[in-house]
């Protein structure tokens, strides 16, 4: 029997040829659940050699291939499974997931509506339908699906977090940030031996330890709320490479590396819980920028060419970015329409392995490569302050430039994160940030054509 994605995935032994087809399938599914995708893939291939009409193997193989980002093959496997069992709601649900990953949202919507009609009491089917509705911008309908799923499976943390993101995308910040506390389930935010968690009562003389969490961008975004704290002392625990920069934030008395014992604090709070405790709403959220500044002595001075009317920094890949949805990510090539003018000085703010794209794609000479000079985020902040504009993908650099109060254009996929989903061009978090979205899923050329038109208009005055 096929099960919705994530519910049925299982170990392959060395004696695979000597076991029955069903035994081999069970071993392969165990391998898949253990994370050995290559071993599981080989095992499913063997199952299908022995029994080409094994629909469960086709289903699980499709799930596996989607996890690897091989959505073309995943779609073929799922379609073959569906041809064998066209009314199986689990197969329909997984098929809808793959179509969603490919950006074929209307097809996915139709498939998942059918799955819901066949299995109205299966929580995963309602969840998957909600995700597609959310991608299409139908947030009220998506929210209803998530709540239906939770009524059938109340403790599903993943659905709770998707519901939180939906509420936040709608601008319902009070409910959304309360719902976001599900990120700590089932353990809860307390850890043995740690300080008690602040519940929002008056801090008075008690100091507070804020704890950075999730991504660098999240920490840069949420540290703004420290300025609203009325405590005798606020210490921020964060990655060591962020300490000097975050120590410049208003309301932060000290920034210390993770693991270092704080002094003068009695309570603690994860930083993404700040807007919940402070009762932040979309209308009351702090928007004043800059709320960060480069640390003293950071970075270096840029000398722009005399012919340059505008100094532009670009970032084409978020550090550590991995695409699980199989859609084409942004590449340096997408930025080429921005490089055609001789009166724009273009600087690469890209760090990490992808900074080599400049040489690999022949862009040296068109773009000043700063990657070898940017030793820290402090240096990056100092450089951004000397630029007229930053154009970037969804990355920590977008948050950094916004927190520094510098003009930044953010190029987004059609399905964007909740924090960018509130308005078409403007973002409530950063007044100097402008959004450029794909006209439709996968259309980076359309998004960058809009960026290029706006850039040329700005330079032309």
* Cβ-contact 235, 163 below 8 angstroms: no
Summarised one tens digit per residue, pLDDT across range 188-221 is 555 545 799 999 999 989 999 999 999 999 999 9
Q: Is residue 232 situated within a structural domain? A: yes
Does residue 297 belong to any structural domain of this protein? no
**Helix (H/G/I), strand (E/B), else coil: 208:** strand
Q: How many CB atoms lie within 10 A of CB 25?
A: 24
Of 277, 302, 334, the position where a domain reaches its end is 277
Same domain, 43 and 172: yes
| Entry pTM | 0.88
Over residues 303-308, the mean pLDDT reads 93
Pair (179, 231) in one structural domain = no
Domain enclosing residue 92, as ranges: 16-184
What is the average pLDDT score of the chain?
91
d(CA 362, CA 38): 35
Shared domain check, 247 and 172: no
Same structural domain, 247 and 321: no
Tens-place pLDDT, residues 342-355:
999 999 999 999 99
- Identify whether the C-beta of residue 237 lies closer than 8 Å to the C-beta of residue 257: yes
Please report whether residue 369 resides in a domain: yes
The residue ranking higher by pLDDT, 231 or 267, is 267
Rounded to whole angstroms, how far apart are CA atoms 276 and 427?
20
Number of domains the chain is built from? 3
Note the Cα 120 to chain centre separation in Å.
Answer: 30
Tell me: do 61 and 175 sit in the same domain: yes
Angle, CA of 216, 289 and 275, to the nearest 5° = 60
Do 173 and 35 fall into the same domain? yes
Strand order in the sheet with 310-315: 368-369, 344-348, 310-315, 389-392, 408-412, 433-437
Compute the average pLDDT of residues 182-186.
Answer: 90
Do residues 236 and 248 lie in contact, with contact meaning Cβ atoms separated by under 8 Å? Answer: no
pLDDT in tens, 93-123: 999 999 998 889 999 999 999 999 999 999 9
Separation between Cα atoms, residue 9 and residue 21, nearest integer Å? 16
How confident is residue 326, by pLDDT bands cut at 50, 70 and 90? very low
- The answer to whether residues 326 and 179 belong to one domain is no
Residue 170 shares a structural domain with residue 34: yes
* Same-domain status, 425 and 316: yes
| Per-residue model confidence (pLDDT) at position 16 | 42
pLDDT for the residue numbered 415: 82
Element (H, E) at 267: strand 267-270
Concatenate the DSSP letters of all residues of 289-329 into one string.
Answer: S----PPTT-S------TT-SEEEEEE-S-TT---SS-PPP
Residues 316 and 255 in one domain: no
Instruction: Quote the pLDDT of residue 320.
Output: 52
Q: Tens digit of pLDDT for each residue in 273-300?
A: 999 999 999 989 899 999 999 999 999 9
Percentage helix, strand, coil for the chain under 3-state DSSP, each rounded to 5: 45, 10, 45
Task: Give the whole-number percent of the chain exceeding pLDDT 90.
Answer: 82
What is the predicted pLDDT for the residue at 19? 65
Say if 7 falls within a structural domain.
Answer: no
The last residue of one of the domains, among 258, 277, 296, is 277
The answer as to whether 380 is a domain residue is yes
pLDDT at 426 (0 to 100): 87
CA-to-CA dists, residue 82 to 49, 55, 57, 325, angstroms:
18, 8, 12, 21
The pLDDT tens digits of the residues spanning 132-163 come to 999 998 999 999 999 999 999 999 999 999 99
Indicate the pLDDT class of residue 7, thresholds 50, 70 and 90.
very low
In this prediction, residue 5 has a pLDDT band, given cuts at 50, 70 and 90, of: low
CATH code where residue 164 lies = 1.25.40.10
pLDDT band at 328 (very low <50, low <70, confident <90, very high): low
* Cβ neighbour number for residue 402 with a 10 Å cutoff: 27
Phi, psi of 342 (to 5 degrees): -75, -15
Q: Do 139 and 212 fall within a single domain? A: no
DSSP assignment of 356-416:
GHHHHTT-BTTBEE-TTT--SHHHHHHHHTT-SEEEESSSHHHHHHHHTT--EEEEE-SS-
The answer as to whether 272 is a domain residue is yes
Q: Which of 141, 169, 184 is the last residue of a domain?
A: 184
Distance CA 233, CA 206 (A): 7
What's the CATH number where 357 sits?
3.40.50.2000
Confidence of residue 423 (pLDDT cuts 50, 70, 90): low
Mean pLDDT of 167-180: 96
Is 433 part of any domain? Answer: yes
Q: Does any domain span residue 235?
A: yes
Looking at the fold, whether 321 and 451 belong to one and the same domain comes out as: yes
């Amino acid at each position: 029997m096929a099960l919705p994605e994530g519910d049925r995935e299982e170990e392959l032994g060395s004696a695979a040829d000597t076991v029955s087809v069903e035994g081999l399938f069970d071993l392969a599914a165990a391998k898949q659940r253990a994370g050995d995708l290559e071993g599981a893939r080989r095992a499913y291939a063997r199952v299908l050699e022995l029994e080409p009409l094994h629909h469960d193997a086709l289903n699980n193989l499709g799930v596996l291939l989607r996890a690897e980002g091989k959505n073309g093959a995943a779609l073929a496997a799922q379609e073959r499974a569906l041809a064998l069992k066209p009314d199986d709601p689990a197969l329909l649900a997984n098929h809808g997931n793959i179509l969603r990953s490919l950006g074929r949202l209307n097809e996915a919507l139709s498939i998942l509506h059918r799955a819901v009609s066949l299995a109205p009491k299966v929580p995963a089917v309602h969840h998957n339908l909600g995700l597609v509705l959310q991608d299409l911008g139908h947030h009220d309908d998506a929210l209803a699906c998530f709540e239906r799923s939770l009524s059938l499976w109340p403790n599903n943390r993943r659905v709770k977090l998707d519901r939180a993101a939906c509420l936040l995308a709608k601008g319902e910040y009070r409910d959304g940030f309360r719902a976001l506390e599900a990120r700590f389930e089932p353990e809860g935010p307390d850890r043995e031996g740690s300080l008690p968690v602040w519940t929002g009562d008056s801090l008075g003389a008690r100091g507070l330890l804020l704890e950075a969490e999730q991504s660098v961008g999240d920490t840069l975004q949420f540290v703004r709320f420290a300025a609203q704290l009325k405590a005798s002392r606020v210490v921020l625990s964060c990655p060591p490479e962020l300490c000097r920069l975050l120590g410049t934030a208003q309301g932060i008395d000290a920034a210390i590396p993770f693991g270092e014992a704080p002094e003068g604090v009695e309570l603690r709070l994860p930083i993404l819980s700040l807007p919940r405790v402070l009762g932040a709403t979309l209308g009351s959220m702090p928007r004043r920028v800059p709320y960060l500044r480069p640390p003293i002595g950071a970075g270096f001075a840029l000398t722009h060419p005399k012919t340059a009317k505008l100094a532009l920094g670009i970032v084409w890949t978020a550090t550590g970015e991995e695409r699980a949805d199989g859609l084409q990510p942004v590449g340096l090539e997408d930025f080429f329409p921005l490089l055609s003018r001789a009166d724009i000085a273009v600087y690469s703010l890209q760090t990490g392995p992808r900074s080599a794209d400049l040489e690999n794609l022949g862009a040296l000479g068109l773009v000043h490569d700063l990657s070898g000079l940017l030793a820290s985020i402090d240096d990056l902040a100092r450089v951004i302050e000397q630029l007229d504009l930053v154009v970037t993908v969804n990355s920590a650099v977008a948050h950094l430039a916004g927190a520094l109060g510098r003009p930044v254009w953010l190029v987004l996929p059609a399905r964007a994160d909740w924090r960018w989903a509130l308005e078409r061009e403007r973002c409530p978090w950063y007044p100097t940030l402008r959004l450029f979205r794909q006209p439709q899923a996968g259309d980076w050329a359309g998004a960058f054509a809009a960026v290029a038109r706006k850039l040329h208009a700005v330079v032309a005055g």
